[in-house]
A and B are shown apart, each in its own frame.
Chain A
Amino acid sequence: DAGVTQSPTHLIKTRGQQVTLRCSPKSGHDTVSWYQQALGQGPQFIFQYYEEEERQRGNFPDRFSGHQFPNYSSELNVNALLLGDSALYLCASSPRIAGGLGQYFGPGTRLTVT
């Protein structure tokens, strides 16, 4: 079992550009959540996808959007990048019924905005 995988591992973008991050959930998981972890801080919830719909959203602007595909994989898109968007972006997957008890995290994508 490959667990949760994310790509790319690292990414450098320029302010104002757009970025897409990808996540493949653990086998058997149908729910994907995204978190942003700024340097030296705890992860902050961005949103969660289930059945290809955004089920819950944290306090992030509309520049942050996502998508879930029929195979349960997910993308996080960030438009008009700001320097403050530099962070580690973590994807977590779970079976819907497990809720918080079954959240498995991927290794993350480190985004640097210059």
Chain B
Amino acid sequence: GDSVTQMEGPVTLSEEAFLTINCTYTATGYPSLFWYVQYPGEGLQLLLKATKADDKGSNKGFEATYRKETTSFHLEKGSVQVSDSAVYFCALWMDSSYKLIFGSGTRLLVRP
């Protein structure tokens, strides 16, 4: 079945460091891809999305490119801040299934 695999955390970085969180997917069709962020004690917020191959989603300095050839959607940010500390979830959506399929999440800790 369709699935999402994320790198395990926690990822610990110093402020202003470069961030990469790896995400790969398995899908029988052509999914839309998403990154969601969850701050402590809160629900999920959509961070960025891409709907087709080679699309780049971006928001708040975060970017991810939909790579069909490698079935990947890695999240990157050039310079992280303490306020970016949260759990990040990669997810896919198939129109045929009406549901989001999430990875297990990657916790990011940014130290001052």
A90 and B99 in contact, given A41-B104, A42-B89, A99-B93 (Cβ under 8 angstroms) = no
Binary contact readout B63-107 vs A (1 if CB under 8 angstroms, 0 otherwise) = 000000000000000000000000001010111011111111100
- Sorting the interface of chain A by its residue count into under 10, 10 to 19, 20 to 34 or 35 or more gives 20 to 34
| A-side contacts of B45, CB under 8 Å | 105
Contact A42 B103, beta carbon cutoff 8 Å: yes
Most chain A CB neighbours (cut-off 10 Å) among B43, B46, B95, B102: B43
Q: How far is the CA of A41 from the CA of B103 in the complex (A)?
A: 8
- For the complex, give the distance between the alpha carbons of A48 and B43 in Å: 18
Decide yes or no whether A25 CB sits under 8 A from chain B: no
**Chain B minimum-CB-distance residue to A45:** B99
Least CB distance, A10 to chain B, in whole angstroms: 11
Q: Mark A90-108, 1 if CB is under 8 A from B, else 0.
A: 1010000001110111111
Whole-angstrom CA separation of A46 from B101 in the bound complex: 11
- Give Cα A56 to B95, complex, Å: 11
Query: Nearest Cβ distance between residue B88 and chain A, in whole angstroms?
Result: 10
Are the C-beta atoms of B43 and A106 separated by less than 8 Å?
Answer: yes
Q: Does B58 contact A (CB under 8 A)?
A: no
Instruction: Tell whether, in the assembled complex, residue A105 and residue B89 are in contact, meaning their CB atoms are under 8 Å apart.
Output: no
Interface: A33 (CB within 8 A): yes
Q: Known contacts A35-B100, A41-B105; can you find 8 more A-B pairs with CB under 8 A? A: A41-B104, A42-B91, A42-B102, A43-B89, A43-B102, A45-B101, A90-B44, A99-B95
